[in-house]
Structure 1
Amino acid sequence: MQTAWIISSGSELTLGQSIDTNSAWLSRELAGRGIRPARHITVGDAAADLRDALESAARRADVILLTGGLGPTEDDLTRFVLADIAGAPLELHAASLAQLEAFFAARKRPMPERNRIQAMIPGGARPLPNSCGTAPGIFIELRGTPCFALPGVPFEMRVMFRDQVAAHLDGSRGVILSRRLSTYGRGESEIGDAIRDLMARGRNPEVGTTAQLGEIGIRINAAADAVQAALRLLDADEAEVRRRLGELVFGRDEETLAGAVGDLLQKRHATLATAESCTGGMIGQMLTATPGSSAYYLGGVVAYSNEAKERLLDVPRDVLDAHGAVSRPAAEAMAEGARRRFSADFAVSVTGIAGPSGGRPDKPVGLVYLGIAAAEGVAVEEYRFGEDAPRDVIRERAARTALNRLRLALLRRA
């Protein structure tokens, strides 16, 4: 199977000022065409660094994809480095210049003289027309290895790849298809233990895990000679993972916890309301990010102060005085108050101490109470998300855990 190196150029990437989304997108596109992405390399706006990366790729990869550095400013070095490695002078490409001039003319703007450099390509190279920007791409062979230089702007890069590059990639030697299963409720080490044999090195499909804020993703990458064969491998591993992990698995690929909750509510023709304190509406935001959520989500109350909890959710004053806002009784009253106020079938409540201040020995930062109210009563659970955890992590883990508790409650109902 052919291998590709993907190189991203730009000091804004190496300095952390921008996130490289191009490499991930290109990897998925290449894998689907039977080309295995072997390396992601990011270099700053330094000609020597870019040259080193390209020369290494030319020696070891079957194809190179390079993004960035095709603009008109002094820090755009791609065309110069390509010309240097190829030992060819930069030449003005008349058709590319005409396209540039037409681009500016269509916008009734004069073309700056500096933009002429974007129509310069190394001798022997081929320009890749840009239908939605000013920077043409460049196709060139480096030491016999095909190299496609594309714009760094993600939208322009994607259009150029599909219009100018994809048809020239040889995917005849196989295909790599990927699938992601999402789990919640166990740590990465526990998930890893349950599927240890599936993660054995050298196995096909290749299985791995990733962790993010309590959610453990299981990646399955299958290589085969044809799409249907790869799909059969993916299906078999997915079925085995689901058999072993059961209700821990909540979704596949882009499916979310909130979406899984919504599906279960719709199947049961049930409605939901939320009562949030420390999460400040985050659960409602997650729910409403799913199209069609108005079919089951009635609304929510963000009750941050004690007065708001009392007035909007009917939390008794004596509960707040005796136990405090961050307590099991308060979470119970919040959930029941939201369910009653909205006439919902279910309600979720969350109250806690997100920090960094406000903690004390008996109620430390990271303490959260989550409640679920239904017709038969209210169930409240206590969670400790860590005194040292950042505020945003505590809040997001609380919101995700609340959704997962509701998901499990819905799954387990007759």
Structure 2
Amino acid sequence: MQAVIIAVGDELTDGATVDTNSGYLSARLVECGIATRRHVTVGDDAAAIAEAIGGAAGQARLVIVTGGLGPTADDLTRQGLAAAMGAALVEDPRQAERIAAFFAARGREMKPSNRAQALLPAGAQAIDNDCGTAPGIAARLGEAEVFVLPGPPQEMREMFETKVLPRLPAAGAIAKRIVHTFGVGESDVGEAIADLMGRGRNPTVGTTVSAGVISVRITAAGPTKQAAEAAADETAAEVRRRLGELVFAGDDQTMPQVVGEALQAAGETLAAAESCTGGMLGEMITEVPGASEYFLGGVVAYANQAKTELVGVPADLIAAHGAVSEPVAEALAEGARRRFGADWGLGVTGIAGPAGGSAEKPVGLVYIAVAGRGGAAVHRHVFPGDREVIRRRAALAALNHLRLALVAAGEPGAEG
């Protein structure tokens, strides 16, 4: 079974409010073995709502609409559904009584606009709202089951979980896996797994990108949960095999978690000296609970004087090569390791922009050094994006270079 989810409201189409309902519903439907074919957002216009519902009913067996059931003049989902069904709106006496009782219990007068919430398309059924006044609506349109739910997330979720979910047919099971990679572009990852991403395959495989992290998302369907999970695991293993050391984590794991676990498993420690990332590297590391077990500390050495006085980078080295250079990155990493007495040191220096770049040293140029007992290695990057993106990608790249150094050193847990 497939579903189409429609979110109604001018506040959504205008960008004033972010639609969280559709994502929630899709995630819950997947757990029931129901895939969402598409999300549709439509403004408060009865004709547009009718068109969206009618189109969705021709594409999927399940249509869920959220929003537009309130008491104001711009709440037009009831009218839109009625138009799509070719039905008149009629009052549901039981819902009218329930709404009146809701106001009476609070010592308030029910206005005519609130009574209008009891109107339903002829042939539809009301769904009780235990959290508010607007009832939901259940209807059939062609071969599709249509459910209309209130827009406020709390009301929508309660109604979906208690009133709609029990009505949905069993549709097998779905299992999801995510394989996270770092170090190459999305096209490189896509080429390596192109045959796994073909249309009509089960499991389905796709990619998403965030701050340089390419995530391979795998969704498998099966008659049972065990069968779906086995199919998802098999494909995830093949993705990992093809992408090798580019893979750093799976599912909900993050780069800082993986690096932290590897350091803990090895009984080793880390220190950092960062310039252009301005503390973002340290922030990422310390987002992981228990990071104090392996992260001894960091220095944000932004000015050249701080690099010299706090980390021990020689002033003549900066004068000769510039603050953004391979020798200075190495000196930052070695200085951090020495200052804190750590097994590993990270050094980051670069130009995050928007100003400060040149033809020789453009905005986005970052040098990252990893220092260990066996010496230091320096990596040069030119990251695209704005200041925030460059800083975030640099911090993640620093952790990834450390991860790869741990892999090379044979430390457990760093392979991802």
Contact 2:48 2:80 in 1 (8 A): no
Q: Secondary structure at 2:73's aligned position in 1?
A: coil
In structure 2, the partner of 1:88 is 88
Once the two structures are superposed, the pairs formed by residues 381-392 of structure 1 within 5 Å of their partners are 381-386=379-384, 389-392=385-388
Shift of 1:327: 1.3
Q: How many aligned residue pairs are there? A: 406
Contact 2:271 2:344 in 1 (8 A): yes
Q: Secondary structure at 1:232's aligned position in 2?
A: helix
Once the two structures are superposed, the pairs formed by residues 255-270 of structure 1 within 5 Å of their partners are 255-270=253-268
Label 1:319 to 1:153 Cα distance change in 2 as closer, same or farther (>3 A): farther
Shift of 1:240: 1.4
In structure 2, the partner of 1:281 is 279
AA at the equivalent of 1:60: Q
Q: Distance in 1 between matches of 2:321 and 2:132?
A: 61
Q: Distance in 2 between matches of 1:114 and 1:395?
A: 56
Deviates more, 1:161-170 or 1:208-217: 208-217
Q: Once the two structures are superposed, what CA deviation does each residue of 1:360-383 show, in whole Å capped at 9, x if it has no partner?
A: 121111110111122333222111
Q: Once the two structures are superposed, what CA deviation does each residue of 1:224-279 show, in whole Å capped at 9, x if it has no partner?
A: 21111111111111121112222211122221111111121121122222222212
Contact 2:6 2:42 in 1 (8 A): yes
5+ residue gaps, structure 2, are: 411-416
Label 1:332 to 1:154 Cα distance change in 2 as closer, same or farther (>3 A): farther
Q: Distance in 1 between matches of 2:24 and 2:195?
A: 29
Label 1:337 to 1:195 Cα distance change in 2 as closer, same or farther (>3 A): same
In structure 1, the partner of 2:414 is none
Shift of 1:34: 2.2
Once the two structures are superposed, the pairs formed by residues 117-196 of structure 1 within 5 Å of their partners are 119-122=117-120, 124-132=123-131, 135-143=134-142, 145-172=144-171, 174-196=172-194
Give me the identity figure in percent.
Answer: 52
The partner residue of 1:393 within 385, 389, 394 is 389
Label 1:63 to 1:378 Cα distance change in 2 as closer, same or farther (>3 A): same
What's the RMSD between the two structures over aligned residues? 2.6
Once the two structures are superposed, the pairs formed by residues 230-241 of structure 1 within 5 Å of their partners are 230-241=228-239
Label 1:332 to 1:46 Cα distance change in 2 as closer, same or farther (>3 A): same
In structure 2, the partner of 1:78 is 77
Label 1:257 to 1:144 Cα distance change in 2 as closer, same or farther (>3 A): same
Q: Once the two structures are superposed, what CA deviation does each residue of 1:291-332 show, in whole Å capped at 9, x if it has no partner?
A: 333332333222222222233222222222222221112212
Contact 1:71 1:118 in 2 (8 A): no
AA at the equivalent of 1:407: R
Contact 2:259 2:399 in 1 (8 A): yes
Q: Secondary structure at 2:145's aligned position in 1?
A: strand
Once the two structures are superposed, the pairs formed by residues 20-31 of structure 1 within 5 Å of their partners are 20-31=19-30
AA at the equivalent of 2:253: E
Compute the TM-score of the two structures, normalised by the length of structure 2.
0.88
Label 1:361 to 1:168 Cα distance change in 2 as closer, same or farther (>3 A): same
Contact 1:179 1:234 in 2 (8 A): yes
The partner residue of 2:103 within 94, 101, 104 is 101
AA at the equivalent of 1:295: E
Q: Secondary structure at 1:60's aligned position in 2?
A: coil
Q: Distance in 2 between matches of 1:48 and 1:10?
A: 13
The partner residue of 1:208 within 206, 210, 219 is 206
In structure 2, the partner of 1:36 is 35
5+ residue gaps, structure 1, are: none
Shift of 1:135: 4.6
Once the two structures are superposed, the pairs formed by residues 219-234 of structure 1 within 5 Å of their partners are 219-234=217-232
Q: Once the two structures are superposed, what CA deviation does each residue of 1:187-246 show, in whole Å capped at 9, x if it has no partner?
A: 222222222222233222222222333221112121221111111111111121112222
Label 1:90 to 1:378 Cα distance change in 2 as closer, same or farther (>3 A): farther
Q: Distance in 2 between matches of 1:19 and 1:230?
A: 32
Contact 1:80 1:90 in 2 (8 A): no
Deviates more, 1:87-96 or 1:336-345: 87-96
The partner residue of 2:405 within 402, 405, 409 is 409
Contact 1:121 1:127 in 2 (8 A): no
Q: Distance in 1 between matches of 2:295 and 2:104?
A: 50
AA at the equivalent of 1:89: L
Shift of 1:118: 7.6
Contact 1:335 1:349 in 2 (8 A): yes
Deviates more, 1:60-69 or 1:340-349: 340-349
Q: Distance in 1 between matches of 2:233 and 2:170?
A: 22
Q: Once the two structures are superposed, what CA deviation does each residue of 1:5-48 show, in whole Å capped at 9, x if it has no partner?
A: 11111223323333333323322221221222222111122222
